[in-house]
C-alpha cells in the first residue's frame, strides 16, 4: 500500500479530507504544510495498518520532513480511483510515542 500511496503523491492524485486539513492547520506543534506531508510520506514507513477501515483500508505512515520534523500521516488508497486519501496528519507527541514509531503503553 505504501508504494501506491507514494505513487499518488508523485502524480498529485490526492484527496485531503476536511479533518486532515483542520488538523494540519491547528497542530499543537505548528501548522503542517502540504510539502511537509509529501516529504514525510515519500520517505516514510508504515508503522500501523488498519485493514478493516471503511470505506478503504488505511495505514499510519511515519516519516520526516526535509527539516527533520517527525510526522504521522494516516492514508488510504482507492483502487477504483487510483487516488491517495489523506485522512489526517499530525506531529506525534513525544510523551505518547517511542521514537515516534511505537505507542507508549
Q: What is the pTM of this model?
A: 0.94
- From 28, 101, 15, 23, select the one nearest 63 (Cα to Cα): 101
Q: What is the pLDDT of residues 22-54, one digit of tens each?
A: 999 999 999 999 999 999 999 999 999 999 999
| Domains of the chain: residue spans and CATH | 2-93 (3.30.2310)
**pLDDT tens digits, 47-84:** 999 999 999 999 999 999 999 999 999 999 999 999 99
Model confidence at 105: pLDDT above 90? no
Q: Taking the CB of residue 62, how many other CB atoms lie within 10 A of it?
A: 22
Amino acid at each position: 500500500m505504501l508504494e501506491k500511496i507514494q505513487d499518488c503523491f508523485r502524480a498529485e492524485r490526492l484527496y485531503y479530507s476536511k479533518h486532515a486539513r483542520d488538523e494540519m492547520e491547528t497542530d499543537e506543534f505548528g501548522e503542517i504544510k502540504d510539502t511537509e506531508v509529501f516529504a514525510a510520506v515519500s520517505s516514510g514507513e508504515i508503522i500501523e495498518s488498519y485493514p478493516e477501515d471503511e470505506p478503504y483500508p488505511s495505514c499510519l505512515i511515519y516519516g520526516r520532513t526535509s527539516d527533520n520534523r517527525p510526522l504521522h500521516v494516516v492514508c488510504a488508497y482507492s483502487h477504483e480511483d487510483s487516488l491517495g486519501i489523506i485522512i489526517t496528519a499530525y506531529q506525534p507527541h513525544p510523551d505518547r510515542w517511542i521514537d515516534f514509531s511505537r505507542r507508549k503503553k
